[in-house]
Amino acid sequence: MTTQTPPVRPVRDDRPITLVDGYVPVIDISGARSGDIDRRLQVARTIAGVCETSGFLAIVGHGVPEDRIRRVYNATREFFALDEAAKTRLLADERDPLMRGFGRKGNLAASNAGADPQALRRLADLSETFTYNRLGEPGAPGVPADAPSVLRLPNKWPDLPGFREAYLDYYAAMEGLAQELMRLFALALDLPETWFDDKIDQHMTNLTANYYPGQENPPAPGQLRKGVHSDWGSLTILYQDGAPGGLQVRDRSGEWVDVPAIAGSFVINIGDLMAIWTNDRWVSTVHRVVNPPREVAHHERYSLPFFLQPNYSAPIECIPTCTSPDNPPRHAPTTSGTYLTGKLSAAYGI
């Protein structure tokens, strides 16, 4: 009797990629991180399908350690619990186009094309913000010599033990994940996988903590936790807690769809620059943060968006695979820096 060794077969990863289908599906990206190119392509194409419909998805299997998320979340709660005077000491410099530090009042809806910024800013979003940007760290490279020098204004840090470390560690994790997602985007758009790499290697990303206080009194008519807006960068990675009065995204028929907080997930959404790059094949969908129902209005809420913003001078114009003679570019070319500072100025009157 002879014994035969079974033939060695490559292990095929055929776990599902879409875990929950829908307008904002839940996608497992762990297979893409395995390095197997076929699997990467499958995940990339799944994400691309979502980017063509809602531009919003939740991802799991992203590899960001849970304790980094927990530490930045706890640090954020501690910061916003400081008294007004302590927070106001960190108020963003009036000249800072990136609004680093404690945020000023504004309304994101004022950034929309055709909006009346003056009127909307009078109905400020019912939120407070804290913003960190790598360009504000000592010695940070990445801003071209001809860019406004105010982009290099320093970050403002609260005097809270562990706060700065928690933010820097979380930011580093987001940078890694954002680069990975941009590579999947490139694959999905039939570009070389590294096509976006040199457009984001000196990125100017705001990591912004949003604090939505409990609402003792009913908000004014039309006033929201965050006004209706699209995001302005290439993609956003959002951590949100599950408190009531949360994120909603508008679907194709104009209905508002809740984006529930799923344990261990991040919400990913496309920003305006991705829509410009893809000639509107991908959509930068508008969203908002609603007020909680009155019976649970005392609940506060926190979220942490990382708004991946390409290099200051990165040209943002229709990419080669998204245009043809009968589909000419629809948007005027711009640059990342010009686009971002224009939007921040409209929302906050900077």
Ligand X SMILES: O=C(O)CCC(=O)C(=O)O
- Per CB under 5 A, residues contacting Fe ion are 231
Comparison of 238 and 268: residue with beta carbon closer to ligand X: 238
Comparison of 195 and 348: residue with beta carbon closer to ligand X: 348
Query: If contact means CB under 5 to 8 A according to the sort of partner, which of ligand X, Fe ion, none does residue 249 touch?
Result: none
Tell me which H or E stretch contains 97: none
Residue nearest ligand X (C-beta atom): 303
81-116 burial: b if 16+ Cβ within 10 Å, else e: ebeeeebeebebeeebbbbbbbbbebbbbbbbeebe
Comparison of 230 and 341: residue with beta carbon closer to Fe ion: 230
Dihedral of the alpha carbons of 126, 251, 257, 318, in degrees to the nearest 10:
-60
Comparison of 106 and 305: residue with beta carbon closer to ligand X: 305
Shortest spacing between CB 347 and Fe ion, in angstroms: 11
Query: If contact means CB under 5 to 8 A according to the sort of partner, which of Fe ion, ligand X, none does residue 303 touch?
Result: ligand X
Comparison of 56 and 195: residue with beta carbon closer to Fe ion: 56
Query: If contact means CB under 5 to 8 A according to the sort of partner, which of ligand X, Fe ion, none does residue 234 touch?
Result: none
Shortest spacing between CB 345 and Fe ion, in angstroms: 17
Residue 111: C-alpha distances to residues 227, 261, 289, 297 (Å): 10, 26, 15, 27
H helices of the chain, in order, are 37-53, 66-80, 84-88, 117-122, 163-188, 197-200, 272-277, 336-348
Q: How many CB atoms are closer than 10 A to CB 201?
A: 12
Query: If contact means CB under 5 to 8 A according to the sort of partner, which of ligand X, Fe ion, none does residue 272 touch?
Result: none
Q: DSSP letters of 253-316?
A: TS-EEE----TT-EEEEE-HHHHHHTTTSS----EEEPPPPGGGTT--EEEEEEEE---TT-EE
Query: If contact means CB under 5 to 8 A according to the sort of partner, which of ligand X, Fe ion, none does residue 40 touch?
Result: none
Query: If contact means CB under 5 to 8 A according to the sort of partner, which of Fe ion, ligand X, none does residue 72 touch?
Result: none
Shortest spacing between CB 339 and Fe ion, in angstroms: 15
Comparison of 266 and 282: residue with beta carbon closer to ligand X: 266
Alpha carbon 186 to chain centroid, angstroms: 18
Shortest spacing between CB 56 and ligand X, in angstroms: 11
Query: If contact means CB under 5 to 8 A according to the sort of partner, which of ligand X, Fe ion, none does residue 199 touch?
Result: none
User: Which are the contacts of 104, defined by CB distance < 8 A and separation ≥ 6?
Assistant: 91, 92, 348, 349, 350
Tell me which H or E stretch contains 28: strand 26-28
Shortest spacing between CB 39 and ligand X, in angstroms: 30
Shortest spacing between CB 164 and ligand X, in angstroms: 22
Residues that bind ligand X (CB under 6 A): 210, 226, 231, 238, 240, 247, 287, 289, 303, 305
Comparison of 58 and 147: residue with beta carbon closer to ligand X: 58
What distance in Å separates the CA atoms of residue 290 and residue 292, rounded to the nearest whole number? 6
Residue nearest Fe ion (C-beta atom): 231
Query: If contact means CB under 5 to 8 A according to the sort of partner, which of Fe ion, ligand X, none does residue 210 touch?
Result: ligand X
Comparison of 128 and 231: residue with beta carbon closer to Fe ion: 231
Shortest spacing between CB 108 and ligand X, in angstroms: 6
Shortest spacing between CB 247 and Fe ion, in angstroms: 8
- Extract long-range pairs of 89-95: CB within 8 Å, 24+ residues apart: 90/130, 90/156, 90/157, 90/158, 92/131, 92/156, 93/150, 93/153, 94/350, 95/150, 95/153
